[in-house]
Structure 1
Amino acid sequence: MSLLRRPAVLVAVLAVLTVVMRAEAPARARAEPEAGGASVRYAGLAGCVCAPWTLWTWSGQVIKLADARVFASKAGKQRAPLALSPDGEYVAYFRRGDRALVIRNMSTGQVREVPGMQWSRKLRSTRIDLAPAGRYVVLGSGRDDRVLDAYSGESSVVPPGLRPWSFSSDAGLMLAVDDEFRAGIYAISTLAEKGRVPVGGALSPDGATVAHFTDDDSAISLWDVAAGRADGQPIALPAGQIPTRLRWGGSGHLDLQTVARRGEKRSETVYTWHRVDQGTGHLQVVDTFAVPDSVHNPIVAGLSP
């Protein structure tokens, strides 16, 4: 997991991926059993840094969020935050006009305001992350993070030195990492610790397992939280591709995303989602799409473990 465990390296990797993850309409999609057509594959600014935030969905739709704030300040050098839930079913952003933080349900089109939260100058350097089901929003500024209930508007301060990283599918449990990427699992409602993990990653729907890449990024390891050890042998990853994301489905299946570059001038990036058979280690391709280098500030659904 050398690419994504260490914070300094993580920043560098994300910077590289930001350059390559430019996007237009997806190519060669395969049907995903649990992904609705409106679910978002990725979001970004199409063709121009001043363009509105745009969403690209599983069904091939291209949706422009004309009501979403694009810039964090009048200078126009920093983007206002936007977040996707790991499954792409929900989008969080600050709305232009009334400045409200809103959660958009992609399946229904409903846009819901988060009570008591509005854009202000104090939030210019804030990042936002969105838990499954659009229930909780993480607001992060520097080393200070808080978890905001998107229904009640109530917030909880995350213990100092920890950063929320992944959630159970019902958003009842949160995995948070420290500077060394060691992790603790906490109940969202009380922030009481429920378990420790030697390395952070993607938290399973029931909170019993953490999936993460091995040190050399050649395999996926499954950590049994209750037993305090790895569960079985690591699952080997495809050669020649870069593992970037893991994602648990609500039914307990695990998906792996890999990326590769192609084209005469390597002008596009290919993203592939694989369904992982946790028993046999077999990987089944469930979605592939290619994105050219034309969209700024791309955000891809899933979790960087």
Structure 2
Amino acid sequence: MRHPTLPITLRPITLGLIGLALSTLTISAAAVPATARTAPPTQHSTHHSIRYASVDACTVKGIGDIPCHTWRLDLLDGRRVALKDAMVWPLNTKGKPVKEMQAPLSVSGDGESVAYFRKSDHRLVVREFHGQVHVMPKKPLPRGVGMNDAWLQLSQDGARLALGYSVKDGSSRARIFDVSGATETGTLPAFGTFRGFSGDGSAVLVEQDTDENTTGLGVYDTRGDELARVVPPQIVAAGVPWALSSDDRTVAFVTGSGKKAMLRFYDAATDRTAGSVRFSLPTDASVEMIDWTGEHEVTLHLIRSGKVDHVTILRIDTQTGKTRVRDSYKVRAGTFTYQSCGG
């Protein structure tokens, strides 16, 4: 099984999701027009939000395991629905499916939206589960780049989408889209690894290689303008994954394990550590994702690996270190790969 590699306030859901469960999700190219989001964000519900998206594994002689069947969404209420209009296999530059890997897909941190390439016309879309489908501009990838060299990541609230891709020199680029307007807001310059949107989606954090073979961090707004660039101390560099706060400068990361675990903070604008709080982290768990989900709250996705991954989601008060479990689940057996929601 392949763990999610990237990494991922809710609104009430209307009958749109019920229709999702009953339909094949094959949408025509003339999709619903994009409109602005009007409902204010609220906290995670226990209703129809997405826990994770996954695709099955099938064994093919001479190849091994490949993704197969269709993407499926496991929901917080225990139900499972098929996302039948999402591409399972990415296309290479010649338009041929690459069956050894899964097509790009991302779930927003709030579990309310999912981004993917659509089977019917290969358009990049973001589906909101109260019924809206946002279709991004045609040809979102540059010439000479296939879907097999691309990835997707939605912001916490699903309002921003990053489409990342690798170029010939080995570096990465990313186009940022405003989802409701279905428009590109900017392109990030060359970077090493995309590390996520800030808590409110107003900026992004990337890892950058330096001439001295050290780890650099860059903060950019959604237009692609640089807000900060720094080579952090080793304790920060070794603390990946990182999460960027809505202030576009405070980076959260975890060190240690068990009762010695620390949630630490680093200011990318001043290149200084900015305090820490102690909390308890299971010794058999690794931190797979970290997200700012409130002004004083960070959410961790922990992975305990066995025959299947066991995911535990913790919310941590950044002022007191008080911790509570938001959710816990086991990924279904026979899964090729999965993408969890973030916060």
Instruction: Find the partner of 2:108 among 80, 85, 98.
Output: 85
In the alignment, is the contact (CA less than 8 A) between 1:139 and 1:146 conserved in 2? yes
| Structure 1 match to 2:282 | 238
Offset of 1:224 from its aligned partner? 3.1
Is the Cα contact below 8 Å between 1:260 and 1:271 reproduced in 2? yes
The answer to whether the 8 Å contact 2:176/2:222 transfers is: no
Alignment of 1:39-118 (within 5 A): 39-46=49-56, 48=58, 49-72=67-90, 73-74=96-97, 76-106=99-129, 108-117=130-139
1:111 to 1:232, Cα distance in 2 relative to 1, 3 A: same
Does 2:48 correspond to 1:38? Answer: yes
Equivalences for residues 98-247 of structure 1 within 5 A: 98-106=121-129, 108-117=130-139, 122-125=145-148, 126-142=150-166, 143-149=171-177, 150=179, 151-154=181-184, 156-179=186-209, 180-194=214-228, 196=230, 198=232, 199=237, 201-214=242-255, 218-236=261-279, 237-247=281-291
Which one-letter code corresponds to 2:274 in the other structure? D
Superimposed CA distance per residue, residues 160-187 of structure 1 (whole angstroms, 9 cap, x where no aligned partner): 2344322123321111111344212122
> What does residue 298 of structure 1 align with?
338
Q: Tell whether the 8 Å contact from 1:89 to 1:105 is kept in structure 2 after alignment.
A: yes
CA distance in 1: counterparts of 2:162 and 2:314, whole angstroms: 27
TM-score (norm 2): 0.69
CA pair 17-99 structure 1, distance change in 2 beyond 3 A = closer
Q: Percent identity?
A: 27
**SS class of match (2:309):** strand
Q: Deviations over 1:104-158 (max 9, x none)?
A: 113x132111122468984232122222332332222222312232324325332
Counterparts of 1:110 and 1:185 in 2: how far apart (Å)?
30
Unaligned runs of 5+ in 2: 5-41, 59-66, 91-95
Deviations 1:220-277 (A, max 9, x none): 211134553222235343333222221221454111222224xxxx433221111112
Cα pair distance change 1:184/1:40, threshold 3 Å: same
In structure 1, the residue corresponding to 2:300 is in which secondary structure?
Answer: strand
Please give the TM-score of this superposition, normalised by the length of structure 1. 0.77
* SS of residue in 2 equivalent to 1:74: coil
Given that residues 116 and 153 in structure 1 are in contact (C-alpha distance below 8 angstroms), is that contact kept between their aligned partners in structure 2? Answer: no
Cα distance in 1 for partners of 2:134, 2:191 equals: 31
- What secondary structure sits across from 1:245 in the alignment? strand
Q: Could you say if the C-alpha distance between residues 17 and 297 of structure 1 is closer, same or farther in structure 2, counting changes exceeding 3 Å?
A: closer
Tell me how far 1:215 sits from its aligned partner. 7.5
| Aligned residues: CA RMSD | 2.9
Residues 145/215 of structure 1: CA separation in 2 closer, same or farther (3 Å cut): farther
String of CA shifts for 1:54-108, please: whole Å, max 9, x gaps: 11121222121111111123352232111122332221001111221100113x1
Residue 286 of structure 1 corresponds to: 326
Query: After alignment, is 79-88 or 187-196 more displaced?
Result: 187-196
How many Å separate the matches in 2 of 1:90 and 1:17? 20
- Partner of 2:120, secondary structure, is coil
Moved more, 65-74 or 151-160: 151-160
Amino acid at match of 2:255: T
1:214 to 1:272, Cα distance in 2 relative to 1, 3 A: same
Distance 1:250 1:189, change over 3 A: farther
Distance 1:45 1:54 in 2: 6
User: What's the secondary structure of 1:44's corresponding residue?
Assistant: strand
Matched, 1:248 2:292: yes
- Number of residues paired by the alignment? 271
Say if 1:251 and 1:39 are closer, same or farther in 2 by CA, change over 3 A: farther
Rounded to whole Å, the distance in 2 between the matches of 1:122 and 1:223 is: 35
- Change beyond 3 A, Cα 1:257–1:206: same
| In 1: Cα distance, 2:313 partner to 2:292 partner | 12
Match of 1:272 in 2: 312
CA distance in 2, matches of 1:44, 1:65: 10
